[in-house]
Structures are given as C-alpha cells and as structure tokens.
Amino acid sequence: MANDLTTRLEATWGSSRGLTRDLLQFVDAADLAFSPSHRLGALWKHFRHLGRVQENYLRGLETGRVVFGFDGTSYTGDASRRALLDYLDRLDARLETQPST
C-alpha cells in the first residue's frame, strides 16, 4: 500500500509543482501583494506557506516526526517571485535526495 502511494505521489508531484511554478511565474508584484480579504495574507505568503509545509514534511522524513511550524524553515525573503521560485526549487532538490520507501 505504501509503495503504491509513493509511486502515485512521485508520478504527480512534478506536474503539481509545475502548476504552482507556472502560476508564480505568471503573477506580477502587484498580484503577489494582493489579498482577497483582510483575514487572508497576501498571495506571496501562500506560496511561502507551501514551501514551509514542504520543509516541515522534509524534516519529518529526516527525523521520523512531522512538526508543523516555522522552526527550521529557511525562507527569509519577502514578496519576491524569484526568491519564492528559488525557495521551492531548493526544497524540491532536497526532496529528490530523500530515499524512496
């Protein structure tokens, strides 16, 4: 069962991340600063959140325990398209180094 899930995840990760990257490359600085509500963060923060959650899972793969939060996350930029793309690329490169189960 786990191997089946791993196979499906590996088969879809690239296309899913590709859609995220496509959207991030499409938006401009004003779009990244946009928030649809005062209760929601700006769009760039949602891209950062995707990366932070991925970092939390990567740490979980390394330690055997997933802890969600800001500790151990590495994004220090702001609403920069380039910095966000680089961040996601670094995380994907880290994911590639993880052993497959």
| Any domain includes 58 | yes
Tokens of 67: 């802890």
| Any domain includes 101 | no
pLDDT in tens, 43-95: 999 999 999 999 999 999 899 999 999 988 999 999 999 999 999 999 999 98
Residue 1 has pLDDT above 60, yes or no: no
Instruction: Indicate which CATH number applies to the domain containing 86.
Output: 1.20.120.450
How many residues belong to the chain? 101
12 Cβ contact partners less than 8 Å away, ≥ 6 residues apart: none
Residues 74 and 63: their CA atoms lie apart, in Å, by 17
8 Å CB contact between 29 and 81:
yes
Q: How many domains does the chain have?
A: 1
| Any domain includes 73 | yes
- Which domain covers residue 87, as residue numbers? 2-96
Q: Name the residue with higher pLDDT: 14 or 91.
A: 91
Q: Which of 35, 28, 40, 30 lies closest to 81 in space, CA to CA?
A: 28
| Any domain includes 65 | yes
